Amino acid sequence: MAILKNLEARYREGKKSIAVLVDPDKVEDPSELDPLIRLANENCVDFFFVGGSLVTTTNMGDVIKHIKENVSIPVVLFPGSSLQIEPSADAILFLSLISGRNPDLLIGQHVIAAPILKSNKLEVMPTGYLLVNSGKTTSVAYVSNTTPLPEDKYSLAACTALAGEMLGLRLIYLDAGSGAEREINAKMISTVRKTINVPLIVGGGINTSRKAITALEAGADLIVIGNALEKDPNLLTEIADKIYDWNQSVKTER
Ligand code: 1GP
């Protein structure tokens, strides 16, 4: 439980973390990731998340292998389905899509995945996944066949997250979907943050350092950035510097 325990400890200390999302579908040759891997290492990125709502290629294992050969940052699977289990990663977000009412993504895929996960060393991180409306239909909304939570229904999001926590889920992930037009708004993040007592992951459409900081100030404990780094990898340095400053100030306050 090393990664989950670490995230929980950081949450209790008020420290923030950052994950870089790699979609294997967008990687033709794993060596393309080298600049991003180098930047992630230099900027003390906490995690690589690997996965996507629809992975059509078979290179997930190669992508993970390449990351692990070059850097010691933990690799966490962010799977769109039980087919995306790659035992060479360090951990898996065991996602239940609790904002939706698709039984397959609430429990069905998990039944299929459970015996496979039992037989390998992946750390299983039970995660309540809430998909929030972000303007246009994202791949995850379409593929999951679920209706995203309306972005102004704060208490609905908070009650959903709370129910997830009460069911024993250890992380809550608020996602606007990859490449979202609108990131999760600050009020939704802060409302959910005030309601739950587990680490809060926020992602989708974070493409400027201002948006990243807004999410962190509103209460995100871990932000996930994918698309924006494909366009401008240097954004990572800007955001990681801000997180570093934040974590330093938390240290001095205590
Ligand atoms: C998507 O939260 C992730 O599920 C990251 O989204 O690619 O828009 O950064 P982006």
- Bridge-based pairing state of the strands 75-77 and 171-175: unpaired
C-alpha 207 – ligand 1 centre gap (Å): 9
Query: Please, which contacts does 143-149 make with residues 24 or more away whose CB atoms are closer than 8 Å?
Result: 143/53, 143/54, 143/80, 144/53, 144/97, 144/100, 144/102, 144/105, 145/100, 145/102, 146/97, 146/99, 146/100, 146/101, 146/102, 146/105, 147/100, 148/99, 148/177, 149/99
| 231, 253 contact by CB (below 8 A) | no
Residue 56 has pLDDT above 90, yes or no: no
246: confidence class by pLDDT, cuts 50, 70, 90: very high
Segment 3-38, tens digit of pLDDT: 999 999 999 999 999 999 999 989 999 999 999 999
Mean pLDDT score of the chain, rounded to an integer?
A: 94
- Going along the chain from its start, the domains and CATH numbers come out as 3-253 (3.20.20.390)
Residue 80 has pLDDT above 90, yes or no: no
Q: What is the mean pLDDT of residues 218-231?
A: 96
Q: What is the mean pLDDT of residues 188-205?
A: 98
pLDDT of residue 125: 98
Residue 4 CA to residue 201 CA, distance in Å, equals 12
Residue 84 CA to residue 53 CA, distance in Å, equals 10
pLDDT of residue 52: 83
Joined together, the tokens standing for residue 59 give 């290179």
Q: What angle do CA 173, 71, 17 make, to 5 degrees?
A: 30
DSSP 198: S
C-alpha 131 – ligand 1 centre gap (Å): 11
Q: Which residues line ligand 1 (CB under 6 A)?
A: 21, 175, 177-180, 203-206, 224-228
pLDDT of residue 252: 66
C-alpha 252 – ligand 1 centre gap (Å): 32
Atom of ligand 1 nearest to the CA of 207: 9
